[in-house]
Each structure stands twice: as structure tokens, then as C-alpha cells.
Amino acid sequence: MSLNLKSLRTRFALRFIRALKKIHHQEKSFNKRYYKVKVAADASMAAAVGPRRAWSRALLSRARLGWRCRAQSRRESVECWRRKRMHGHGHARAAEGQGQGQAQAQELRSLVPGGEAMDLQNLLDETAHYIKCLTTQVNVMRGIVNCCSTS
């Protein structure tokens, strides 16, 4: 059985499974576990990708902030993002010059982490990579669920 140890899938799977074990040891309430598993999924994905993508960087900083002081830092980070967004919007709108997909582009920015301050071109790049990584994530997690539930 050949396992590509350096592939994104394997890196994510290892981190995520380790985090899962830890969470199951630590937390006993379902709600907290659910939340932590969610964060762990995102964080392990972002860590597996590394800091070379804007969305992974945003996720990592979000996860780091989230672990410590959730509410306050979220407010702060949102403020910071909003400021960037105002600044970024002017730039993005001037660069785009076309009103076709403005609303959708805005929504996409809200979906993709860290997409607030991006022009459309980079946003589409990040979206493509994000979709790829999301599908990997879904497949790995589904595999884990199947393994856990079958045995």
C-alpha cells in the first residue's frame, strides 16, 4: 500500500486525526466537541496547506485567535477586515471596471476566508485552491467517519 506522505491529503489527515483524538480525550460535552472538531478541521487543513495561500493564512490567524479569546479578538479582527475591505474595495472596484458580478463577487469574498481585501483575479485563484482543498477535506473526513462507524 503506497501512501504518499507528502500529499496534501495525508498531511491533513494526520493532523486532523491527532486533533480528533485529543479532543475526544479532553472534551465530554457534545457541543464543545462539535465546535472544536470544526475548528480543528479548518486549522489542520490550513496548516497542511501552509502559509503560501491567502486563505490558509487567514484561517490560521483566525484559529489562533479563536483558541484564546474568541469574542474580543473576533470583533477586532472583523474591524481590521472591515477597514481593509473599505480600502480594498476602492482598489478592487477601480480595477474591475465591470459591474457584472459585483454582488456575487462580494458574496464569494465573504465565503472564502481572507477574501475580503482581494481583487477579483486573486479572489478567483484563491477560490480555486480553496475548492480543491475543501473537497480533499470532505473526502478525508468522510473516510474517517466510515472507518469509525464500520468497525
Distance CA 18, CA 15 (A): 5
Contact between 46 and 59 under an 8 Å Cβ cutoff? The reply is yes
What region does 109 belong to: left with phi over 0, alpha with psi -120 to 50, or beta? alpha
Place of cell 490558509: 56
Nearer to another protein, 65 or 124 (CB): 124
Nearer to another protein, 30 or 71 (CB): 30
Cell readout for 143 is 473516510
Instruction: Compute the least distance from the CB of residue 98 to another protein, in Å.
Output: 8
Nearer to another protein, 61 or 125 (CB): 125
Instruction: Compute the least distance from the CB of residue 25 to another protein, in Å.
Output: 10
Of 124, 149, 146, give the one whose Cα is nearest residue 54. Answer: 124
DSSP reduced 3-state for 138 = helix
Nearer to another protein, 27 or 65 (CB): 27
Instruction: Compute the least distance from the CB of residue 76 to another protein, in Å.
Output: 24
Instruction: Compute the least distance from the CB of residue 100 to another protein, in Å.
Output: 5
Nearer to another protein, 83 or 100 (CB): 100
CA distances from 102 to 93, 94, 105 (A): 9, 12, 5
Which positions touch another protein (CB under 8 A)? 1, 3, 9-10, 13-14, 17-18, 20-21, 23-24, 28, 30, 33-34, 37-38, 40-42, 95, 97-98, 100-101, 104-105, 107-108, 111-112, 120-121, 124-125, 127-128, 130-132, 134-135, 137-151
